[in-house]
Structure 1
Amino acid sequence: MWLPLLIKRLNHVDMQKQGLQLTAEEIYNVNNASLKDAIVQFGGFCTGEFISKEGLLLTNHHCGYDAIAANSTPQDDILKNGWWAMTREQEKKNEGLFVDILVRMEDVTGQVLQGITPQTPEQERSKLVAERSKSLADAAKNNGQYVSYVRDFFNGNEFYMFVYERFSDVRLVGTPPESIGKFGGDTDNWMWPRHTGDFSMFRVYMAPDGKPATYSEKNVPYRPKHHLPISMSPVKEGDFSMVFGFPGRTTRFMTGAGLGMAVEQSNPSRIKLRERRLALMKEAMDASPADRLKLASEYASISNYYKYFIGQNEGIKRMKTLDKKAAEEKAFQAWADANADRKALYGNVLTDINASYAGQRSYNLSTIYRSEAALAAQLMAHAYQYTPLYNFLKEGNADKTKQQQLLNGYKEMNAEFYKNYVPSSDQRIFAELMQMYYNDVPKAQHGDIFKDLTSKHKGDFKKWAAEVYSKSLLSSEAKANAFLANPSLKVLESDPAFKVMRAVQVNYQQNILPKMTEYNAALARANRLFVAGLREMQPNRVFYPDANSTLRLTYGTVKDYEPRDGVQYKYYTTLAGLAEKEDPTNPEFIVPAKLMELYRQKDYGRYGQNGELRVGFITNNDITGGNSGSPVINGRGELIGLAFDGNWEAMTGDLVFDPEYKRCINVDIKYVLFVMDKFAGAGHLVNEMTLVDNGNPNTQFNPSLNDVKMDGKMEIETADSEIKIKKKGNETKIKKETKKKKNS
Structure 2
Amino acid sequence: MKKCKFLFFVLFLSFQVLAQQGGMWLPHLLKGDRETEMKNLGLKLTAEQIYSLNQSSLKDAVPQFDGGCTAEVISNQGLILTNHHCGFDAIQNHSSVAHDYLRDGFWAYSLKEELPNPDMVVTFVVRIEDVTSSVLAGTENITNETEKQKKIQQNLSELTKNLPKESWQENLIKPFYDGNQYIRFVTETFKDIRLVGAPPSAIGKFGSDTDNWVWPRHTGDFSLFRIYADKNNRPAAYAAENIPYTPKHFFPISIKGIRENDFTMVMGYPGRTQEYLPSYAVEQIMNTLNPAKIDVRDAALKIQNSFMRKDQAIKIQYASKNSSIANYWKKWIGETKGLKKSNALAAKEAFEKELTEKINKAGKQGEYGNLLGDFKTYYTEIRDYALARDLFTEVVLRNTELLQTGYKLVQLEQLYQNKGEQAFTERKNVLYKGIDAFYKDYHAPLDKAVFEQLIALYAQRLPKAFIPSVLENVDAASLTNEIYSSSALTNLEGFRKLLEGDTATILANMRQDKGYQLVKSITETYLKLVAPKWEEWNAKIAATQRKYMKAIVELSPKSARIFPDANSTLRVTFGKVKGYKPSDGVYYEPFTTLEGVMEKYIPGDYEFDVPEKLIQLYNAKDFGPYANKQGKMPVAFIATNHTTGGNSGSPALDAEGNLIGCNFDRVWEGTMSDIYYSPEICRNIMVDARYILFVIDKFANAQNIIKELKIITPQTKNKKSKK
Aligned residue for 1:635?
655
Residue identity matched to 2:617: L
Equivalent residues in 2 for 1:171-182 (5 A)?
171-182=194-205
Aligned residues: 686
Match among 104, 123, 134 for residue 111 of structure 1: 134
Match among 489, 497, 508 for residue 526 of structure 2: 508
Aligned residue for 2:576?
557
- The answer to whether the aligner puts 1:577 opposite 2:600 as a matched pair is no
Distance 2:240 2:312 in 1: 46
Contact 1:242 / 1:633 at 8 angstroms: preserved in 2?
A: yes
Match among 676, 679, 694 for residue 674 of structure 1: 694
Aligned residue for 1:349?
371
Contact 1:242 / 1:632 at 8 angstroms: preserved in 2?
A: yes
More helix by share: 2
Q: Secondary structure at the match of 2:446?
A: coil
Contact 1:118 / 1:345 at 8 angstroms: preserved in 2?
A: no
Contact 1:242 / 1:555 at 8 angstroms: preserved in 2?
A: yes
Aligned residue for 1:657?
677
Residue identity matched to 2:453: I
- The answer to whether the aligner puts 1:519 opposite 2:537 as a matched pair is yes
- The answer to whether the aligner puts 1:416 opposite 2:441 as a matched pair is yes
Distance 1:137 1:600 in 2: 58
Residue identity matched to 2:626: Y
Match among 496, 506, 510 for residue 492 of structure 1: 510
Residue identity matched to 2:443: Y
| Change in 2 beyond 3 A, CA 1:697/1:498 | farther
For residues 21-72 of structure 1, give each alpha carbon's deviation from its aligned partner in whole angstroms, at most 9, with x where no partner exists.
1111111111011111111111121111111111111111111122222333
- The more displaced of 304-313 and 44-53 is 304-313
Residue identity matched to 1:414: Y
Match among 625, 635, 649 for residue 615 of structure 1: 635
Aligned residue for 1:470?
485
Distance 2:310 2:705 in 1: 42
Residue identity matched to 2:133: G
How far off its partner does 1:464 sit? 3.7
Q: Secondary structure at the match of 2:63?
A: strand
Contact 1:41 / 1:99 at 8 angstroms: preserved in 2?
A: yes
- The more displaced of 94-103 and 364-373 is 364-373
Residue identity matched to 2:227: V
Distance 1:500 1:661 in 2: 45
Distance 1:426 1:650 in 2: 30
- The answer to whether the aligner puts 1:432 opposite 2:451 as a matched pair is no
Distance 1:278 1:567 in 2: 30
Distance 2:179 2:587 in 1: 42
Distance 1:285 1:339 in 2: 62
Distance 1:471 1:83 in 2: 41
How far off its partner does 1:520 sit? 1.9
- The answer to whether the aligner puts 1:360 opposite 2:385 as a matched pair is no
Match among 238, 246, 257 for residue 223 of structure 1: 246
Distance 2:310 2:51 in 1: 55
Equivalent residues in 2 for 1:523-542 (5 A)?
523-539=541-557, 540-542=559-561
Aligned residue for 2:19?
none
Distance 1:209 1:459 in 2: 63
How far off its partner does 1:362 sit? 3.4
| Change in 2 beyond 3 A, CA 1:681/1:512 | same
How far off its partner does 1:533 sit? 1.1
Unaligned runs of 5+ in 2: 1-23
Distance 2:585 2:718 in 1: 43
Match among 358, 374, 390 for residue 335 of structure 1: 358
Q: Which has the larger radius of gyration?
A: 1
With structure 1 as the length reference, what TM-score do the two structures score? 0.85
Residue identity matched to 2:680: E
Aligned residue for 1:147?
170
Contact 1:246 / 1:549 at 8 angstroms: preserved in 2?
A: yes
Distance 2:94 2:671 in 1: 34
Distance 2:237 2:205 in 1: 30
Q: Secondary structure at the match of 1:11?
A: helix
Equivalent residues in 2 for 1:53-202 (5 A)?
53-114=76-137, 116-117=139-140, 120-140=143-163, 142=165, 144-202=167-225
Distance 1:268 1:598 in 2: 44
For residues 215-239 of structure 1, give each alpha carbon's deviation from its aligned partner in whole angstroms, at most 9, with x where no partner exists.
2233222211111111011111111
Distance 1:135 1:401 in 2: 28
| Change in 2 beyond 3 A, CA 1:378/1:104 | closer
| Change in 2 beyond 3 A, CA 1:419/1:597 | farther
How far off its partner does 1:291 sit? 12
Distance 2:447 2:188 in 1: 46
Q: Secondary structure at the match of 2:441?
A: helix
Distance 1:392 1:343 in 2: 47
- The more displaced of 368-377 and 481-490 is 481-490
Contact 2:416 / 2:423 at 8 angstroms: preserved in 1?
A: no
For residues 620-678 of structure 1, give each alpha carbon's deviation from its aligned partner in whole angstroms, at most 9, with x where no partner exists.
11000111110000001100000001111112121111221111111111111111111
How far off its partner does 1:531 sit? 1.3
| Change in 2 beyond 3 A, CA 1:141/1:44 | farther
Distance 2:371 2:361 in 1: 15
Q: Secondary structure at the match of 1:8?
A: coil
How far off its partner does 1:422 sit? 6.0
How far off its partner does 1:93 sit? 1.8
- The answer to whether the aligner puts 1:383 opposite 2:406 as a matched pair is yes
Contact 2:73 / 2:247 at 8 angstroms: preserved in 1?
A: yes
Aligned residue for 1:731?
none
Contact 1:231 / 1:695 at 8 angstroms: preserved in 2?
A: no
Aligned residue for 1:729?
none
Distance 1:20 1:208 in 2: 37
Distance 2:491 2:149 in 1: 49
Contact 2:207 / 2:608 at 8 angstroms: preserved in 1?
A: yes
Distance 2:424 2:167 in 1: 31
Distance 1:363 1:674 in 2: 51
- The more displaced of 414-423 and 63-72 is 414-423
With structure 2 as the length reference, what TM-score do the two structures score? 0.87
Aligned residue for 2:60?
37
- The answer to whether the aligner puts 1:208 opposite 2:231 as a matched pair is yes
Greater relative contact order structure (CA < 8 Å, 6+ sep): 2
| Change in 2 beyond 3 A, CA 1:422/1:181 | same
Distance 2:548 2:182 in 1: 17
Distance 2:424 2:182 in 1: 43
Distance 2:632 2:167 in 1: 51
Q: Secondary structure at the match of 1:696?
A: coil
- The more displaced of 480-489 and 523-532 is 480-489
Distance 2:48 2:342 in 1: 37
Q: Secondary structure at the match of 1:103?
A: strand
Distance 1:129 1:401 in 2: 31
Q: CA RMSD in A?
A: 3.2
Equivalent residues in 2 for 1:296-307 (5 A)?
304-307=327-330
Distance 1:299 1:169 in 2: 27
| Change in 2 beyond 3 A, CA 1:68/1:480 | same
Distance 1:620 1:688 in 2: 31
Q: Secondary structure at the match of 1:417?
A: coil
Residue identity matched to 1:237: E
Distance 2:451 2:64 in 1: 41
For residues 256-304 of structure 1, give each alpha carbon's deviation from its aligned partner in whole angstroms, at most 9, with x where no partner exists.
111121122212323444556667889x779x96799879967776555
Unaligned runs of 5+ in 1: 700-744
